[in-house]
């Protein structure tokens, strides 16, 4: 941080077992029992489970049959996103009483920038958590730090129902032993490459020069260099929530018939469904989109309103887009969905309430 920059105060609030906690609040007789939500959608995985279920080894994204093996008494409830959205909207209104700078990451997680407030950030975080507790009966954890990267990690440190602050002068020590897979943007593949390079912790990444990291990891090497030092200047952006999700594929050889295109489209639809069921189950789809890029690099897209991934709709959209090429071959196909805004969802639900 440069000296003339004022210290930022970022809070990452993360609800504890959000969906399961709401269900238990609604059905108090479930308290103390192992409870999970999910399992009924396409691939039958758990969306959330409570700590009682976690003690048996149950985890979110785990197949329901495996969870039942681990915990035969598991109470598995269907997801009720309408209810969760309503709670999410209530929580967001609590945030809004403290700051306008709210960046929701999902229904149960958000960054708040409270730099402009006079109170200590940890006091604000504590108050927010109390308000959530009083108004919704739900527990939240919080991380408090000078930036988003550290705040998000810190919110995990005292879970459940706790908070943890990392001050500017504590960042170095805080990161020293942090596993590289906790670094923002490091997924499984990048983590494996980092391990191959002998880099298991942020402390180890810090010992490499920026030049070396860029040589090994390309542009991301620069992020690694900075994040391993706890440098993260990303602002809390109230408008940053994901608006769409899509997959696309460029073909080694252009496709010449729509039938070839339909074969490729099937794979894209499967990938899209996988991505959606993994991480975006809390979002409402408003539109399906197919994109086509022709041999002359002209791009066209066809879309239709809808609230789920309907393979038939995607096929029709592909044919529609394809025909606009009037016989041109196709370099790329994309399939995706556009989401309704999270906040709007919540507000609408709240008004119905």
Chain residues that interact with Mg ion, rule: CB under 5 A:
14-15, 108
Rounded to a whole number of angstroms, the minimum distance from the CB of residue 108 to Mg ion is 4
Considering beta carbons, is residue 14 or 23 the nearer one to Mg ion? 14
The residue (of 13 and 302) whose beta carbon lies closer to Mg ion is 13
| 179: three-class secondary structure by DSSP | strand
- The torsion angles phi and psi of 318, rounded to 5 degrees, stand at -65, -45
Please work out, in degrees rounded to the nearest 5, the angle formed at the alpha carbon of residue 212 by the alpha carbons of 207 and 218.
125
The residue whose two tokens read 């041109």 is 328
Shortest Å distance, C-beta 126 to Mg ion: 18
In the bound complex, what is the minimum distance in angstroms from residue 14's beta carbon to Mg ion? 4
14 vs 345 by CB, closer to Mg ion: 14
Q: Smallest gap, in angstroms, from Cβ of residue 18 to Mg ion?
A: 5
Minimum distance of Mg ion from residue 106's CB (angstroms)? 8
Q: Which of 109, 233, 323, 348 is labelled catalytic?
A: 109
**Terminal CA-CA length for the chain:** 45
| Bond prior to 19 in cis (omega within 30° of 0) | no
State in angstroms the smallest separation of the CB of 195 from Mg ion.
27
Q: Residue-wise over 148-172: b if at least 16 C-beta within 10 A, else e?
A: bbbbbbbbeeebeebbbbbeeeebe
**Nearest residue (CB) to Mg ion, 52 versus 108:** 108
Token pair listed for 194? 């980092």
Give 91 or 337: the residue with its C-beta nearer to Mg ion. 91
> Strands, E, within the chain: which ranges?
10-15, 35-38, 46-49, 75-77, 102-106, 109-113, 140-145, 163-165, 244-255, 285-294, 299-305, 330-339
Q: Which of 136, 125, 112 is nearest to 162 (CA)?
A: 125
260: annotated active-site residue: no
108 or 282: CB nearest Mg ion: 108
Instruction: Determine the Cα–Cα distance for residues 265 and 96; give it in Å rounded to an integer.
Output: 42
Give the CB-side neighbour count of residue 1, counting CA atoms within 13 A: 17
Residues with active-site annotation: 109
């Amino acid at each position: 941080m440069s000296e003339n920059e004022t210290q930022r105060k970022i809070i990452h609030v993360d609800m504890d077992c959000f969906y399961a906690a709401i269900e238990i609040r609604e059905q108090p007789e479930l308290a103390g029992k192992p409870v999970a939500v999910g399992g009924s959608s396409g691939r039958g995985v758990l969306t959330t489970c409570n700590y009682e279920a976690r003690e048996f080894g149950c985890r979110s994204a785990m197949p329901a049959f495996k969870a039942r093996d681990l915990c035969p008494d598991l109470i598995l409830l269907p997801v009720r996103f309408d209810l969760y959205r309503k709670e999410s909207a209530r929580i967001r209104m609590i945030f809004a009483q403290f700051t306008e700078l709210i960046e929701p990451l999902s229904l149960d997680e958000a960054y708040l920038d409270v730099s402009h407030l006079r109170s200590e950030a940890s006091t604000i975080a504590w108050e927010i958590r109390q308000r959530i507790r009083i108004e919704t009966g739900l527990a939240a954890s919080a991380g408090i730090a000078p930036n988003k990267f550290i705040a998000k990690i810190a919110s995990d440190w005292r879970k459940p129902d706790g908070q943890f602050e990392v001050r500017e002068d504590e960042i170095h020590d805080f990161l020293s032993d942090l596993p590289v897979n906790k670094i923002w943007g490091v997924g499984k593949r990048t983590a494996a490459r980092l391990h191959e390079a002998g880099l298991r912790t942020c402390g180890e990444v810090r010992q490499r020069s920026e030049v070396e990291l860029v040589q090994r990891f390309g542009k991301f090497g620069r992020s690694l260099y900075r994040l391993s030092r706890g440098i993260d200047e990303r602002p809390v952006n109230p408008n940053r929530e994901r608006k769409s999700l899509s997959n696309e594929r460029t073909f080694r050889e252009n496709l010449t018939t729509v039938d070839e295109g339909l074969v490729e489209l099937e794979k894209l639809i499967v990938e899209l469904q996988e991505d959606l069921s993994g991480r975006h189950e809390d979002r409402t789809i408003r539109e399906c989109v197919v994109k086509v890029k022709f041999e002359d690099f002209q791009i066209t897209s066809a879309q239709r309103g809808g609230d789920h991934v309907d393979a038939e709709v995607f096929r029709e959209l592909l044919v529609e887009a394809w025909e606009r090429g009037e016989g041109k071959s196709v370099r790329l196909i994309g399939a995706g969905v556009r989401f309704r805004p999270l906040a709007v969802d919540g507000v609408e639900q709240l008004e119905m309430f």
